[in-house]
């Protein structure tokens, strides 16, 4: 009999139990923690901007060609598209739950590349980004100037250059981004009246800026092939692109061949360093702020990511310019932490109550310890199965563990009571009584397990979101 093998080898049985417990504890450390199982479809987001275009123009010239190419990609459920009067377009593609996010992103990227030739030049220059998107916001970190010493553009640029990259390096927070458009650009504000009087058009200004502010490769002096004995080769370094507004304002728009009648950019416009797009206005406690939205990546431990982000921000706080501070505006793990804490309290209370009830009725401290050990081995070993099945520690799996305590203790009591009966009624030694007891109750114990499995396992095969919601609960109990 299978149980006799372990009864006659107690050391081997103890080692197996210890291995199950150690493996379960290790699995518990690496399992992701969330409030509920992941029930939202895999999402890939395509974003771009058509500067100056209205919603209809963006929808017709940008969104439609991209949607036509993306439509029909493997495992796609549906997609949504939003075009705004700020020129932004956001297309979100939803995939089935079992789709690999990386594979989905690559497929969407390939389809977007097919649509690029049909997009306007301004959109190609701006770029089309394709990113995996998590539906669950983990945290929002607000960066703000408490004293009003800096402009909102400065705070946004500093956050984009120094703070955002540090947060993205936190494991599990790689999808962090600044809400809105944080990039800086050189903005040229044109004077229509001066332009009209001088016969200057917008195209003239755009062409002049493009031609005179180009970053080119000027080659090398004395480079091969060259006749004679070459001693040294010199790379030709040209001026870099302009970064000061005054350099842009000195760009020549028009001049006579003899150099007279020069028209500079500053004669018809002014230049300034500012944000690339003004499409958002964020406030935190009434102060202009730059919010960093942090999404929880699939498979990441939300509590660990939250703690690591807070630790990273504490390190960055030492290097922030005087007057710039941060605040955790939102942390969804606070509710998750409290919810799981309550469930763990329930789990502990259930174990204590079970131990007390078992001792009350068995009136044997050793038998109570045996039942308690059986509970812990079963519960801790369950985390190993959860890891193998890709589950997370959430309210449903913990609730399943709470319910499973009674089932595990019930089986343990059946075995212990039958051993005690054989020892007292048949006057057998503990080892012989255990072997005989298992011969009598192995069938019923296995039958109990199969009955419970027959009740809960079918729930794991429910399709769609409902099945995903109950799958972890049912299989955890089983």
- Give this prediction's pTM: 0.66
For residue 427, is it within any domain? Answer: yes
pLDDT digits (tens, 9 = 90+) for 131-144: 887 767 888 999 99
pLDDT digits (tens, 9 = 90+) for 394-420: 888 888 888 888 788 788 888 888 888
pLDDT for the residue numbered 299 = 66
| Confidence at 35, pLDDT banded by 50, 70, 90 | confident
Q: 45 lies in which domain range?
A: 41-134
pLDDT digits (tens, 9 = 90+) for 57-115: 999 999 999 999 999 898 899 999 999 888 889 999 999 877 888 889 999 999 999 99
pLDDT digits (tens, 9 = 90+) for 46-72: 989 888 788 899 999 999 999 999 998
Average pLDDT over residues 342-352: 78
Quick one: how far is CA 285 from the chain centroid? 27
For residue 260, is it within any domain? Answer: no
Name the least confident of 135-139, 188-192, 259-263.
259-263
- Residue finishing a domain among 134, 164, 183: 134
Tell me the average pLDDT of the chain: 84
Neighbouring C-beta atoms of residue 331, cutoff 10 Å? 19
* Contact (CB, 8 A) for 101 and 132: yes
- Residue finishing a domain among 134, 159, 177: 134
Give the HSE-up count for residue 255: Cα atoms under 13 Å, Cβ half-sphere.
12
Q: Are residues 350 and 466 in the same domain?
A: yes
Share of the chain above pLDDT 70, in %: 98
For residue 457, is it within any domain? Answer: yes
Q: Are residues 396 and 445 in the same domain?
A: yes
Q: Are residues 123 and 16 in the same domain?
A: no
Q: Are residues 55 and 84 in the same domain?
A: yes
pLDDT digits (tens, 9 = 90+) for 237-247: 777 778 888 88
pLDDT for the residue numbered 319 = 87
pLDDT for the residue numbered 259 = 67
Q: How many domains does the chain have?
A: 2
Average pLDDT over residues 194-207: 88
CA 110 – CA 74 distance, rounded (Å): 12
Average pLDDT over residues 256-272: 82
CA 289 – CA 292 distance, rounded (Å): 10
For residue 242, is it within any domain? Answer: no
The domain spanning residue 45 has which CATH number? Answer: 3.30.70.1430
For residue 60, is it within any domain? Answer: yes
Reference 109, options 89, 93, 125; nearest CA is 93
Name the least confident of 44-53, 98-107, 162-171, 175-184.
175-184
pLDDT for the residue numbered 304 = 84
CA 169 – CA 176 distance, rounded (Å): 10
* Position 1 pLDDT exceeds 70: no
Q: Are residues 16 and 62 in the same domain?
A: no
Neighbouring C-beta atoms of residue 474, cutoff 10 Å? 20
């Amino acid at each position: 009999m299978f149980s006799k093998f372990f009864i006659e080898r107690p050391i081997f049985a103890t080692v197996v139990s210890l291995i199950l417990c150690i493996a379960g504890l290790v699995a518990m450390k690496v399992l992701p923690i969330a409030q509920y199982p992941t029930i939202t479809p895999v999402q890939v987001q395509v974003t771009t901007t058509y500067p100056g275009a209205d919603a209809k123009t963006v929808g017709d010239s940008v969104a439609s060609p991209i949607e036509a190419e993306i439509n029909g990609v493997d495992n796609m459920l549906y997609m949504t598209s939003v075009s705004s009067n700020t020129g932004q377009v956001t297309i979100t593609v939803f995939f089935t739950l079992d789709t690999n996010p990386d594979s989905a992103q690559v497929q969407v990227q390939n389809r977007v590349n097919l649509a690029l030739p049909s997009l306007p030049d301004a959109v190609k220059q701006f770029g089309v980004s394709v990113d995996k998107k998590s539906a669950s916001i983990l945290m929002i970190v607000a960066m703000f100037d408490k004293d009003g010493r800096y402009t909102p553009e400065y705070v946004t640029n500093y956050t984009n250059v120094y703070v955002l990259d540090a947060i993205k390096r936190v494991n599990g927070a790689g999808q962090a981004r600044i809400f809105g458009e944080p990039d800086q650009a050189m903005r040229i504000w044109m004077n229509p009246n001066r332009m009209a009087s001088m016969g200057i058009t917008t195209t003239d200004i755009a062409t002049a800026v493009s031609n005179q502010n180009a970053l080119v490769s000027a080659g090398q002096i004395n480079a091969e092939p060259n006749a004679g004995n070459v001693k040294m080769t010199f790379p030709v370094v040209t001026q870099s692109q302009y970064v000061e507004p005054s350099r842009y304002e000195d760009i020549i728009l028009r001049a006579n061949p003899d150099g007279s009648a020069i028209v500079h950019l500053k004669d018809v416009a002014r230049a300034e360093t500012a944000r690339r797009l003004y499409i958002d206005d964020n406030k935190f406690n009434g102060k202009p702020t730059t919010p960093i939205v942090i999404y929880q990546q699939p498979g990441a431990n939300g509590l660990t990511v939250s703690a690591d982000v807070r630790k990273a921000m504490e390190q960055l706080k030492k290097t922030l310019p005087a007057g710039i501070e941060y605040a955790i505006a939102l942390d969804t793990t606070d509710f998750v932490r409290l919810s799981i804490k309550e469930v763990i309290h329930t789990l502990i209370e259930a174990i204590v109550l079970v131990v007390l009830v078992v001792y009350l009725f068995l009136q044997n401290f050793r038998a109570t310890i045996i039942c308690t050990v059986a509970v812990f081995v079963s519960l801790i070993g369950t985390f190993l199965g959860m890891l193998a099945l890709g589950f997370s520690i959430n309210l449903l799996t913990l609730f399943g563990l709470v319910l499973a305590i009674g089932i595990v203790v019930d089986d343990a009591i059946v075995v212990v009571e039958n051993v005690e009966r054989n020892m007292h009624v048949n006057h057998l030694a503990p080892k012989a009584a255990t072997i005989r007891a298992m011969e009598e109750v192995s069938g019923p114990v296995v039958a109990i397990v199969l009955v419970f499995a027959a009740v809960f396992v079918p729930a794991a095969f429910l399709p769609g979101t409902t099945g995903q919601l109950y799958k972890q609960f049912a299989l955890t109990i089983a």
